[in-house]
Every structure is written in structure tokens, then in C-alpha cells.
A and B are shown apart, each in its own frame.
Chain A
Amino acid sequence: MPSLSYLLARLLQIIPTFLLVMIFIFLLVRLLPGDPAIAMAEAKATDAQLEQIRHNLGLDQPLPIQFLVFVKNTLTGDLGRSIMLKAPVTEIILARLPTTVFLALYSVLLAISLAGPLAFLAASRVNGPVDVAIRSVFQVGLSMPVFYIGLVLLTVLAAQLRWFPVGGYGTGFLDNLHHLILPALSVALYTSAIILRNLRASLIEVLDADYVQFARAKGLSRRIVMTRHVLRNALVSTVTLLGLSIGNLMSGTLVTETVFAVPGVGRLMLEAIFARDYPLIQGLTLTFAVLVSVVFLLTDIVQSWLDPRLRQS
């Protein structure tokens, strides 16, 4: 297990990065032409309300102070009020976040189940017909945009065959699984293509490695060689990749939530953009950044647990 000092060091490393993230989000709305207060206010705001907003954002103060106000507000959970939905941004986001997280996890699981065994199959018969077939199919998958896959699945499996609902989230865990399988599959198909490519290359490299030879020369059973030596070593680089693809995955969930009308934060982001709801846009961008950072941190931890060479910082 990685040591506590390693974890602390990693957490500390995030801080300067996150500072930059905050600066960027802060500047995002400030870049709009015109008065930020108007941008952050409802269409028919009174002068008094505008003054209130100006005070909250510290707009009468110099820019660096404004930034500090922004940071303080964020850390205390005050992300402003949504113009469109007339409720605190934090509340709105927290209500829909679980749905998106659920969808993302679902997609990852599907992607791994799809790519894992097939990568194994392809790697153990390198350059044979099976390998070429698998690679070709997934190559095509890589060229299909998520929204297109979603629409095809929607049309064929939901609208036409009626095996699955056309959209929404459902109530209760099993119902959720049923509603979300098509959107999760759309994202998973793309992600699995990326995972397969990397995992296959990893496996090929590992299957060829000297220590696998040595393990065989020791007379270990095939099962032990595969799990303890081949798989574990191939996983190390794949875990990194999974972490890096999370950004991709989040982008995918955004699109797929739109196609399948899933009430998550991705779809909310789009609605916010069309409604010019800047407080909400700001809050959502921050949310995504936090999600991705958490995932990066987790993959780092898992990686250093898997690979002892990484534990020395």
C-alpha cells in the first residue's frame, strides 16, 4: 500500500493545478462583454438585485480580490443561483450528479467487460485472423461518434424493437440499470476501442517478457502465469490509460445524456449554455474538473498500489 506521505504529497501536488483551474473558470465569465452582474442575473432583475449580485461577487473590488471572493464562495459551497432554474447552483448540481456518476461507472464497467477478454484473445493470437478481425471491428468503433452510436441504438433497440426505454432514468436501481444500458453502451463502445488498443499492446509486450519466460521455466501452471504475472503487469499501464480516458468518458456522457434525455449534469450543461445561465455553467465546469481530478488521484493510488516501483516519490 502506498504510504500516507505519498498520498499527502499527491494531494499537495493537486493544489497549484486546481488554482489554475479556478483562475480559468473565474475568467471564463469575466471574458463576456458587458457587465458580469447582468450576465449572472435573471432577465428582469431589479437594480437592487443587480447591486446585491455585484456585492456578492465583489465586483466593486479589484480583480484579485474578486478572485479570492470567488474561491471563498466556492469552498463554502456557494456557487450562485441558477437563472434558468431559480435555485442555488450547488443544490441543482448535487441533485443530478449521482445520475451522471452512475452512468459513467456503468459505461466503464461495460467497456472493460467488452475490451478485456477480447484484448486477451487478440494478444494471445497476435497477427492471426482473430486478432486482425478484432482490431478491425474496434478500429471502426473508434471512428463512430458517441452521439451517432447512441442514435443507432436508440432507433433500433428502443424505438423499433422496444427492448429498452427511449430515455430517462427510471426509479429504483434495477429500473435505472434498464434505462441506462443504451446510453452507457454508446459511451462504452467508444471507450472500449481505446482500452482494447492499449491493453492488447500491453499484453503482447508482457507475454513476450523475460519474467514470463522465467515463470514458465519454473513450472508454474498456466493459470498462475496468466493471472499473477501477465495480467497484473499488463494492467499497470491500462489503469493509467483508463484514468486518462475519464475526460473522454465524461465528454461522452454529456453527449449521450442529450441523446437519451437522461437527467444528469451533462445534459444540464447544454441546457445551461443555450439559456446563457452563466452561474450554472460556471458551477458545472467546476464540477467536471473536480470529478476528473478525483479520478486522476484514484488511478494514481491504484497504480502505485499495483507497481511498487512507483512508490518512491
Chain B
Amino acid sequence: MSIVVQSPIRKAGRVRAFLGRAFLRPSFVIGFAILALSIALALFPGMFAPYDPLAFDLSAIQQGPSLAHPFGTDNFGRDVLSRVIWAYRVDMQMAFFATIFALLIGMTIGAFVGYYGGIADTIFGRCVDAIITFPFLVLVIAIVAVLGPGLVNMYVAITAVNWVYYARLTRAEIMAQKANDYAAAGRVLGYSDRRIIFRHLLPNAISPIIVYWMTDMALAILLGSSLGYLGLGAQPPAAEWGVLIAEGRNFLLTAWWMSLMPGIAIVLTGLGFSLVGDALADLLRPKGR
């Protein structure tokens, strides 16, 4: 008779049931709808934007919101709505790329540190302390100062700082999972450490990481647009919400729509991510913990 070691990994049927429960929550539905729209706009801006975002129309400079231009026009006559829609591509990319590498790197380091402990853990702890001693933005800006402004450099700078939060979270989860019986069973069966970590412990530790990732993406949009506004992230004439807001900075009283509208997009998208994140946090919380 063989003993099969089963670690509690979700099966496909449970995913369907989970989605069923998810859609019962109004916060999840709203957030999901917002995200779906955002992704659609990011993938197919041409389909939604009524005008070419780069096209000057000097006859229609700084017109207020109207039927022809629902979000008004800017100081070059460009349609603000189209520019905001095209900016979805950049900002959604930002949300993804500014977080995914931090997630992967942080998760891996955190898993190893959490599993092995010892001196690696102590060093890790000191590194974390050192990094969080800097305000996030200050550190990112300092790195961008060295690397130079631009989107890719921004991703590098953010990842360099952000990974610690994923690492810390993963470490805590792995340490908790390690204490479970199925981990001990794996060791007794002679599984290699790497196998235990990646095939057994990590899949069970992953829910809080995914939840955090959602809120982190919302934060990444805020951060990225702040950097865009300050001139350190996406560079004009690229359409990015922060950049668009900066472009309208000198016309706050005369053409307020130039700055206000992109901001609404930021808030809306950020809300989408955080609503989904909060709903997931509630749904994925293990019972009785």
C-alpha cells in the first residue's frame, strides 16, 4: 500500500465555486468591471478613442467639455478624452511591470529565507530594515536620479525597493506553512528542499501574496503617475496620466479639465484594483484563522 502525501492545493472545481462566491459581492463586481474596462481600454485604445491623441487641432484650443470633446481639449487642441484613453496603455503597463518583477524576485528570496532561516534570515532582516528606513518615493527618486528619467529606469527603481515587501510577506507565509504537517511529511519522504518549497509550500502561501499584489498595483499607478507628474517617469509627449496632469498645471483656472480628467482615470483604476484586492482578501481568508 502506498502513502500518498497530499498537500491542500485547490482543485479546478473549487476555483469555479470560488468565482461564484466572488461575484456575489458588490465590491468585487464593481472592481472587476472597472478592471475589465481598464484592460480593454489598454489593449484596444484605438477602438475607444474618438480622436488621434497626437493630432493638433489649432482651431479648437482649450475648449471645455462638450459633445464633440467630452473631456475638452488641451492647449494644442488635442482631445483630452482620447489622450486619457491612450494613457491607459501606459499606466496599466506601469501597474504590471512595476510590480511583477518585485513579486517574482521578492517571492523567491522570501521563500528561501523563510525556509532556511539562519544567517540568511538575519542578513535579510537587516536589509529590509535598511530599505524601509527610506521613504519609498525618496528612494525611487534617488535611484532614478542616478539612472536617469524614463519608464524602464522607473521600473528598475521601483522593483529595487518594492521587492522587500513581497519578500517579507512570503517569508512569513512560508514560515507558517513550514510548521504544517504536510511539510514534515514531505521531508520524511525525502523530497528535495526545492521541491517542497515550490511545489508544496508556495502554492498554499500564495493567496496573501496575490491580494497584496492587487493593492500594490493600485499603489504602482499612484506612484507612477506621481513620477510622471514630477517629470521623472514617463516622458512627454507620451500620454500618461501624471504627465497629462502636469501639462495642465499651468491652466488650472482656464482649462481645468486638462488636469482634472486624467486624475479621475487614476482614481477609478486605483479603486478597481483595491476593490478587487479587498474582496479577494475577504474571500481567500482561511476559515478559522
Contact = CB atoms under 8 A, between A and B. Distances in A.
B126 A155 contact: no
Interface in B253-267: 253, 256, 259-260, 263, 266-267
Interface residues of A, number: 50
Interface string B194-234: 00000000000000000000000010001001100111100
Contacts of B231: 274
A288 B136 CA distance: 10
A145 B225 contact: yes
B252 A288 contact: no
A148 B266 contact: yes
Residue of B126, B139, B144, B145 with most chain A CB atoms under a 10 A cut-off: B145
A285 B126 contact: no
Nearest to A291: B135
Contacts of B253: 155, 159-160
Contact of B226 (A145, A244, A289): A145
B270 interface: yes
B91 to A, nearest CB: 12
A152 B261 CA distance: 11
A270 B135 contact: no
A270 B230 contact: yes
A251 interface: yes
Contact of B129 (A17, A143, A244): A17
Nearest to B125: A17
A155 B254 CA distance: 10
Residue of A16, A21, A140, A143 with most chain B CB atoms under a 10 A cut-off: A143
B146 interface: yes
A288 B135 contact: yes
B142 interface: yes
17 contacts: A17-B133, A18-B133, A28-B143, A139-B278, A143-B267, A145-B242, A147-B226, A151-B245, A152-B263, A249-B135, A254-B135, A254-B137, A254-B138, A255-B226, A255-B229, A273-B145, A293-B133
